[in-house]
């Protein structure tokens, strides 16, 4: 008995869920129904926010199964295992156990399945290991060490960390560009490291082959090699998978698009669901252009599903005015009852903005909303700093999905350690952290410095530095004496500084910002955190007062979050982390030129991505949307420097005044 006959018998016998095709289709609106019934060959479904894209995918599966397509000949590709499980679960509610026969998972999952089966045809052993993140970085570290030993030069002497090298390699493979192009485009500060990176890449690949191991990127790279080089395997997979369904297609990179094109023969069916206006992961290699390229292929059918079931008409109206680069002419339609018009609030500064949001949250609680109904979204984690302190001081429970809590990030802890040794030169923990930041000084030297100072008990930073220079420096070998001397020179520059902002500014300018670039793949976000931290510190004259306020607020915050772990909490998140989620109430904060859009968005392409991020942010709201901004001069003191921190495109100036209610509460 063929599988198709078996499926038909299961349906006829009632083993599948008793939902007929007519009922499946009756649950769809007209646009969704067209996408389910009329798609075939190469098909693109443009799904606006809140339009029911998951419904379209799961009902497409049901339509195929009830139409006699064997489930094993359907493949569903998603970007997370959770999304795959959710879709198969929802499909099971329509077609029963048949859904479990579908090949469903991430790109990496399906590629691993094929390589385990066909890998020997391209020289892979079937029992290869898959490297996790920690293993991946360890092998890169060893390869970079070997590259230096074999003569690869880094003229600046600053060797990027394994995590930074890993980011370079991931983009190199995902974008399909040359290594020099990737470095020039995304890592220009590593240009003088290019020969070193090239050598490290060669040695890294050799180490993996010797270990019979693949990293996550390799799963896609080797599968593409398999399909490109072995026509028999390619034809077998093309013939087996009658339907290939892809979710979140706008987030694919060049390598993933290449894989899909290899699987599509023109005789089978490639059904992708996307919204190029919500493509916000270019830093991972995602290309919104993949949607445009796919749609431009001969014979591609394009379906638009535009009914928004999530948001009120007022929020949808605003969203329609913010659709970026609307090349497909999309226009969302609202079906929910009317609600309040989106509110744009101008505050004097970040502190007033935080106070306003906290007060508004309390008012909403009085109206019957729950904290879990609300979210505060922002462009970068740094924008939540003042709000975290404000919520903690008022005892409002919150959970941070955008990054670590106020003092949990390594970069914030690093900078705080400079302030702490300035105030308390006997602080062993902070001294260990400070010393280890300087190249050439490891844990053993750091512990020796900290122990010596604890025993000496200096009363000032000057006394501590003099002691280290007179008593400790001379006892070190040349390998450690040189970096120790450099550290002492750097720390001596802190002596005359008195305010926390001056100290933070000095630490960053003297070496720490450069340290971030070479040691953290997300250095841009960390630098923005420090920008905000420095700006926050500018409100204090005394280092002790600043440390006390921040440390005590963090202690309260951690306690509140721990006690509310399973309780009612408001969500704090970047827009990136919030994609795919929704709340009754959304506060979108710090929508200022230089903050949102980011000051790092310098090209037109980068600015267009900022517009997509803004669009994603406003479309997370169901009932209430509040957008806040600051109305200050755009200048800020950084230590003893007055710098321009804002400028450029203002998204709120582009919104028609009748689409929002404007309120100015600035001083």
| pLDDT beyond 50 at 638 | no
Segment among 305-309, 314-318, 472-476, 544-548 with least mean pLDDT: 472-476
Q: Say what the pLDDT of residue 403 is.
A: 60
Long-range CB contacts for residues 286-290, cutoff 8 Å, separation at least 24 = 286/250, 286/251, 286/252, 286/253, 287/175, 287/252, 287/253, 287/254, 287/257, 288/250, 288/609, 288/612, 290/249, 290/250, 290/252, 290/253, 290/254, 290/257
Identical topology for domains 15-115+219-304 and 340-397+567-664: yes
Strands 583-588 and 570-574: unpaired
Task: Sketch the domain layout of the chain as residue ranges.
Answer: 15-115+219-304, 129-211, 340-397+567-664, 408-545
Q: Which CATH class is domain 340-397+567-664?
A: alpha beta
Strands 641-644 and 635-638: antiparallel
Question: Binning pLDDT at 50, 70 and 90, where does residue 328 land?
Answer: very high
| pLDDT beyond 70 at 187 | yes
pTM over 0.85: no
Question: Binning pLDDT at 50, 70 and 90, where does residue 404 land?
Answer: low
Q: Say what the pLDDT of residue 61 is.
A: 94
DSSP labels for 71-123?
A: GGGEEEEESSHHHHHHHHHHHHHHHGGGGGGSEEEEHHHHHHHHHHHHGGGGT
| pLDDT beyond 80 at 281 | yes
Cα separation, 113 vs 241, in Å, equals 14
Cα separation, 374 vs 399, in Å, equals 11
Q: Say what the pLDDT of residue 406 is.
A: 56
Q: Say what the pLDDT of residue 667 is.
A: 80
Percent of the chain with pLDDT over 70: 90
Q: Say what the pLDDT of residue 258 is.
A: 95
Q: What is the mean pLDDT of residues 649-662?
A: 92
In this structure, whether the domain defined by 15-115+219-304 belongs to CATH 3.40.50.300 is answered with yes
pLDDT in tens, 604-637: 999 999 999 999 999 999 999 999 999 854 444 3
Other Cβ atoms closer than 10 A to 633: 9
pLDDT, mean over the chain: 86
Q: Which CATH class is domain 408-545?
A: mainly alpha
Question: Binning pLDDT at 50, 70 and 90, where does residue 408 land?
Answer: low
Overall residue count recorded for the chain in this entry: 667
């Amino acid at each position: 008995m063929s599988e198709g006959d078996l499926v038909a018998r299961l349906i006829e016998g009632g083993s599948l869920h008793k939902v007929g095709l007519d009922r499946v289709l009756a649950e769809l609106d007209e646009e969704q129904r067209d996408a389910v019934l009329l798609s075939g060959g190469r098909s693109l479904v443009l799904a606006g926010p809140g339009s029911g894209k998951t419904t379209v995918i799961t009902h497409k599966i049901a339509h195929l199964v009830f139409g006699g397509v064997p489930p094993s000949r359907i493949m569903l590709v998603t970007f997370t295992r959770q999304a795959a499980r959710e879709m198969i679960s929802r499909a099971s509610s329509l077609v029963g156990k048949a859904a479990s026969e579908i090949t469903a998972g991430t790109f990496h999952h399906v590629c691993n399945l094929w390589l385990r089966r066909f890998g020997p045809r391209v020289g892979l052993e079937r029992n290869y290991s898959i490297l996790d993140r920690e293993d991946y970085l360890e092998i890169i570290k060893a390869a970079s060490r070997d590259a230096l030993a074999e003569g690869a030069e880094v003229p600046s002497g600053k060797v990027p960390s394994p995590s930074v090298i890993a980011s370079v390699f991931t983009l190199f493979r995902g974008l399909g560009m040359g290594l020099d192009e990737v470095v020039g485009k995304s890592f220009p500060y590593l240009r003088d490291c290019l020969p070193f990176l090239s050598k490290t890449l060669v040695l890294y690949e050799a180490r993996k082959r010797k270990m019979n191991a693949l990293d996550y990127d390799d799963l896609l790279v080797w599968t593409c090699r398999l399909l490109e080089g072995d026509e028999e395997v390619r034809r077998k997979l093309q013939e087996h998978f009658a339907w290939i369904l892809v979710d979140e297609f706008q987030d694919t990179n060049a390598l993933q698009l290449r894989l899909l094109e290899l699987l599509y023969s023109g005789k089978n069916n490639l059904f992708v669901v996307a919204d190029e206006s919500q493509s916000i992961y270019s830093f991972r290699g995602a290309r919104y252009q993949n949607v445009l390229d796919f749609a431009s292929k001969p014979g591609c059918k394009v379906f638009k599903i535009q009914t928004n079931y999530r948001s009120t008409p007022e929020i949808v109206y605003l969203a329609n005015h913010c659709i970026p680069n609307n090349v497909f002419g999309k226009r969302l339609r609202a079906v929910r009852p009317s609600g309040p018009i989106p509110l744009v609030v101008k505050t004097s500064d970040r502190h007033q903005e935080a106070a306003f949001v906290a007060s508004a949250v309390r008012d909403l609680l009085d109206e019957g909303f729950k904290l879990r109904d609300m979210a505060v979204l922002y462009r970068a984690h740094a924008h939540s700093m003042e709000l975290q302190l404000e919520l903690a001081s008022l005892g409002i429970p919150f959970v941070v999905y955008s990054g670590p809590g106020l003092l949990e990030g390594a970069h914030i802890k690093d900078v705080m350690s400079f302030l702490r040794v300035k105030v308390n030169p006997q602080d062993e923990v902070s001294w260990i952290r400070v010393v280890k930041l300087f190249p050439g000084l490891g844990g053993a030297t750091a512990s020796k410095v900290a122990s010596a100072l604890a025993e000496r008990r200096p009363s000032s930073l000057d006394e501590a530095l003099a002691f280290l220079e007179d008593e400790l420096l001379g006892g070190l070998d040349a390998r450690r004496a040189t970096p120790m001397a450099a550290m002492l020179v750097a720390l001596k520059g802190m002596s005359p500084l008195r305010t926390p902002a001056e100290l933070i500014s000095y630490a960053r300018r003297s070496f720490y910002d450069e340290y971030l670039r070479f040691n953290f793949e997300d250095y841009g976000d960390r630098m923005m955190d420090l920008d905000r931290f420095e700006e926050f510190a500018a409100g204090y004259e005394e280092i002790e007062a600043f440390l006390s306020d921040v440390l005590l607020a963090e202690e309260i915050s951690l306690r509140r979050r721990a006690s509310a772990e399973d309780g009612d909490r408001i969500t704090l998140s970047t827009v990136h982390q919030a994609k795919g989620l929704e709340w009754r109430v959304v506060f979108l904060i710090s929508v200022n030129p230089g903050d949102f859009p980011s000051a790092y968005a310098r090209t037109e392409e980068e600015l267009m991505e900022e517009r997509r991020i803004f669009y994603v942010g406003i479309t997370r709201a169901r009932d209430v949307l509040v957008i806040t901004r600051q109305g200050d001069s755009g200048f800020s003191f950084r230590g003893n420097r007055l710098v321009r921190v804002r400028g450029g495109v203002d998204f709120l100036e582009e919104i028609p005044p009748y689409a929002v209610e404007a309120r100015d509460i600035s001083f």
